[in-house]
Structure 1
Amino acid sequence: MTGIDTGIDILMITYDRPEYVRLSLPHLLDTCTPDTRVWVWHNGSDQPTLEAVEEHLGHPRVHRFRHSPVNAGLRGPTNWLWQEATGTYLSKVDDDCLPESGWLETLRQAHEDVPTFGVIGTWRFPDEDVDEALVAAKLADYPGGHQLLRNHWVQGSGYLVKRELIRQTGQLGENESFSNWCVRAAQLGWVNGWYHPFLHEEHMDDPRSPNTIYRTDEDFMARRPLSARKTGVTTVSQWTEQMRHSARVVQAASLDLREYRGWRLRRRTAARRIRLALTGHAPW
């Protein structure tokens, strides 16, 4: 009879930004617990980025490596991990993110103490973006002295999720975002949110990060993130404001699950599309 694998499996997807990968991959390896396995999926053919990955493939925490010559996006690599990993807990850390030391130990302890915790995560926004009144309205206490800023979804980096939840909820569906997948998990009764006091995750794509590659508008236009291209953002200041807006949205988001199904969801989706068509900017 084999024992239960209580380890952690973490995915990092790398693509076309060697400056970030040279920081994020060794940082992830340094913050791993002894029973963490890191799975690396490299998208694309950018040689400097591939070389930044290959420098670390001999690390004892690197468990699996896969290279897709074309950009396979997020869904395929994520489902690869979810289908093949054996650990009790799974995670993904983006190649532009640096979660603080101790994040895995804290999130795993919270999962062990609170069986209903589903997707719980680190917080990627600077302190200046925190609205204490909004946070206080959604803070909840749990056994073991744990607190969450409740939300039905978190960002797709720096989170920890029980594999049992993935078994129940299933894989990421065709054209399904990670946030929508989190909402599906919440509809099954899992409790999602950000651990509080916040465990910080530096998001290097935020122009306020000391490690950002976006110092000038020229830098930004030369290497705009996909979400910026989709929303028509063309300057560093606009991108910074979008970061601030995202922080406000998640802190103010409703905990009423009825808002995420049926006619209410259709109304919100229609309003978002109209706003995007008229202004180039999505409201959430």
Structure 2
Amino acid sequence: MTEHSEGVSRQRGIDILMITYDRPEYVRLSLPHLLETATTDTRIWLWHNGTDQPTLEAVEEFRHHPRVHRFHHSPTNAGLREPTNWLWAESDGAYVSKVDDDCLPDKDWLETLRRAHEDVPEFGVIGTWRFPAEDVDDALVTKKLADYAGGHRLMRNHWVQGSGYLLKRAAVTQTGPIGPTESFTAWCLRSARLGWVNGWYHPFLPEDHMDDPRSPHTIYHTDADFMARRPLSAKNTGVTTVAQWTEQMRHSAKVVQAASLDLREYGGWRARRRGAVRRIRRALTGRAPW
């Protein structure tokens, strides 16, 4: 490919980060799935945290795939913020994304979300939907639906989960990197305050979240399985059983569907009174702090 044709392709190009850590069973599903669903102008950036050998071996199997653009190994667990900022700073695609190593987005997610971005300039970060159909409250969703040019519809929300989203480069440029003490949720809120429209594409594009015990691919079949590989957020909230973890997933779905679109609720005295951002992060991430 010539330098000119490479530049032209990157005008619509997508750069996607996958961070892998201590979940070889998931990586052997999520990484090939991501590579298979990537568009021809998508580049995959891999960041491996930690020294778990089986997980590293699972990544190495695909490290030289033609869609893989960069690979970085951090022997310590660098979390999520540093790898995300690495992608945002080093990549040059018109769109950036992250797919967690325990997630399988819909096969057509990239083309659908990119078309929406191209048709609606004000879209900032729009995402796939990681909750099962049983968690959808139609009454709550309907209140937040909005229609846009090109026949696109969002369930508006000022943030989405940190996996299976597509984010405009222009929003990253204007909003800046994720701050040292900032979560992705807080970053999305900051972008919304600058005027970017965020939310979940509707009808929802599913993302199979394998850490949800209801996923057919979950590793959590018994309470013993769960305690042996318990997510950090479960430890932080005292969750010790599969049933409790499932209930937390249901609660997370309720939180995002009921969340206010009034940005004043997430700043100043309202946020201090309600602890809004803290509760949102605890409900949604299932991940280590940024």
Q: TM-score range by the shorter chain?
A: over 0.9
How many Å separate the matches in 1 of 2:265 and 2:61? 46
Between the aligned partners of 1:232 and 1:270, the Cα distance in structure 2 is: 20
User: Which residue number corresponds to residue 195 of structure 1?
Assistant: 201
Work out whether 1:110 is the aligned partner of 2:106: no
Distance in 2 of aligned mates of 1:272 and 1:39: 29
Structure 1 residues 182 and 128: alpha-carbon distance in aligned structure 2, compared to 1, 3 A threshold: same
Q: How far is 1:268 from its partner? A: 1.2
Deviation at 1:271, TM superposition (A): 11
Aligned-residue RMSD, C-alpha: 1.5
Of 110-119 and 262-271, the range deviating more from structure 2 = 262-271
Code of the residue aligned with 1:235 in structure 2: it is T
Q: Is the 8 A contact 2:266 2:276 kept in 1?
A: no
Structure 2 partner of 1:66:
72
State percent identity of aligned pairs.
77
Residue matched to 1:245: 251
User: 2:288 matched to which residue of 1?
Assistant: none
1:144 matches 2:150:
yes
Read off the aligned partner of 1:264 and give its amino acid letter.
Answer: R
User: Paired residue for 1:126, among 132, 137, 146?
Assistant: 132
Report the residue type matching 1:112 in the other structure: E
| CA–CA distance in structure 1, aligned partners of residues 232 and 34 of structure 2 | 24
- Please give the residue correspondences for 1:198-217 in structure 2 after superposition, counting only pairs within 5 Å: 198-217=204-223
11, 17, 30: which is aligned to 2:36?
Answer: 30
Report the Cα offset of residue 58 of structure 1.
1.4
Question: 1:246, CA displacement in angstroms?
Answer: 0.3
Q: List 4+ stretches of structure 1 deviating above 6 A.
A: 270-273
* CA gap 1:142/1:22 in 2 versus in 1, 3 angstroms: same
Contact between 2:271 and 2:277, CA under 8 Å: does it hold in 1?
no
Q: Distance in 1 between matches of 2:132 and 2:165?
A: 17
SS, match of residue 73 in structure 1: coil
Q: Deviations over 1:132-157 (max 9, x none)?
A: 00000000000000000000000000
Residue in structure 1 matched with residue 57 of structure 2 by the alignment? 51
The structural deviation recorded for 1:272 is 6.5
Question: 1:74 Cα deviation (Å)?
Answer: 0.3
Amino acid at match of 2:60: E
Aligned residues: 276
Structure 2 partner of 1:277: none
Separation in 1, partners of 2:137, 2:276: 28
Deviation at 1:193, TM superposition (A): 0.2
Distance 1:150 1:15, change over 3 A: same
CA distance in 1, matches of 2:109, 2:234: 28
Match of 1:265, as an amino acid?
Answer: A
The equivalent of 2:236 in structure 1 is 230
Could you tell me which runs of 5 or more consecutive residues in structure 2 were left unpaired when the two chains were aligned: 285-290
Distance 1:283 1:187 in 2: 22
| Alpha-carbon offset, residue 270 of structure 1 | 8.2
Match of 1:170 in 2: 176
